Amino acid sequence: MSATTVREAALAAPPPPGGRRRRYRAPDAAGPVTYVLLVVTAFLFIVPFYYMVVAASRPMAEMNTSPPPFLPGPYLWQNITTALDQQAIGLSIVNSLIVSGITTAGTLLFCTLAGFAFAKLRFRGKKALFAITIGTLMIPPSLGVVPLYKLMSDWGLAGRLESVILPTLVSAFGVFFMRQYLVQTLPDELLEAAKVDGASSTRTVVSIVLPIARPGMAVLGMLTFMTSWNDFFWPVITLNSTTPTVQVALNNLGSGYVPDTSIIMAGTLVGTLPVIVVFLLLGRQIVSGIIAGAVKG
């Protein structure tokens, strides 16, 4: 919507009762300070990725010189090939896609349903259950490692991808996030109208709740996918070299008395590319979804 359209809509709106119409004021344009801050912030985020590309395309001896080289070298493909030969990077990417995809789908389903229940439904123990859910966020994940590993071992899942997927199918943060989102964006009148029309609970969720929750689900899905892809602590404990994820494979790639940082950077570059591709494909949709949700709210 252009500034002219916004101004026409503001002028066409009726004045408040008993008051004068406020004069429309267009939003101020971004000044030079804003652009400087944006450029500095973008630079701080881009530099580590650029350094990773430079280090992945140079021998380790050149990267250890002072000052180090600032331009990419000719050994990028050679280092990537060496990394792929030393560790099953391709298999680890497939495993990470499986784990991250299933975890994201499960989190979106269960957290959206639980968030809707806590936001709009009435049942006994609602406040107590929500307080317990939020309270689990205060428990350090390291405290549950031993009982969780014993449970996975008793079920015969230790060393398999299921041991990473099952504990992360639902998260307390996701439940809290979707609950807060639906409280703000889902009007009670819509649910009452659906009830009057005789819609079942399933029909109400599918036709009303999910379309309204879509922008929030897009944000939660991206956060969950990134968290699952970058998870290292639990996968390195329960998985082995035959079923590694990307982070486990990179950890094994860096083992040895004198790890080759160029090979590690090359493997890291390969493991980072799928996440960058997903963000480039879905980033615009997520931003537009957030804006649409804000307008509806």
Q: Per residue in 57-85, pLDDT tens? A: 988 888 888 888 888 888 889 888 888 88
Name the residue ranges covered by the structural domains of the chain: 53-294
> Cα separations (Å) of 203 from 21, 135, 216?
44, 32, 20
8 A C-beta contact, residue 218 and residue 291: no
Number of residues that make up the chain? 297
Q: What is the pLDDT of residues 179-237, one digit of tens each?
A: 999 988 888 888 888 888 888 888 888 889 998 888 888 888 888 998 999 898 999 99
pLDDT confidence band for 288 (50 / 70 / 90):
low
Query: Does 21 have pLDDT greater than 80?
Result: no
Identify the three-state secondary structure at position 69.
Answer: coil
pLDDT confidence band for 279 (50 / 70 / 90):
confident
Q: What is the pLDDT of residues 31-47, one digit of tens each?
A: 788 889 999 999 998 99
Architecture of domain 53-294: Orthogonal Bundle (1.10)
pLDDT at 228: 92
Check residues 21 and 237 and name the one with the higher pLDDT: 237
Check residues 288 and 139 and name the one with the higher pLDDT: 139
Instruction: Classify each residue of 163-183 as buried b or exposed e, where b means 16 or more C-beta atoms within 10 Å of its C-beta.
Output: bbbbbbebbbbbbbbbbebbe
Q: Which amino acid is at 153?
A: S
The 10 Å Cβ neighbour count of residue 200 is: 10
pLDDT at 3: 45
pLDDT at 223: 86
Average per-residue pLDDT for the chain: 83
Q: What is the pLDDT of residues 95-132, one digit of tens each?
A: 999 999 999 999 999 999 999 999 998 889 899 999 99
What's CA 50's distance to the chain center, in Å? 22
Q: For the residues of 55-97, what is the DSSP string, one character each?
A: HHTS-HHHHTSSSPP-S--S-HHHHHHHHHHHS-HHHHHHHHH
pLDDT at 280: 77
Residue the block writes with tokens 């290292």: 232
> Cα separations (Å) of 252 from 55, 87, 240, 249, 259?
19, 7, 10, 5, 10
Which H or E run includes 90? helix 89-120
Mean pLDDT, residues 170-181: 92
- Specify the pTM: 0.78
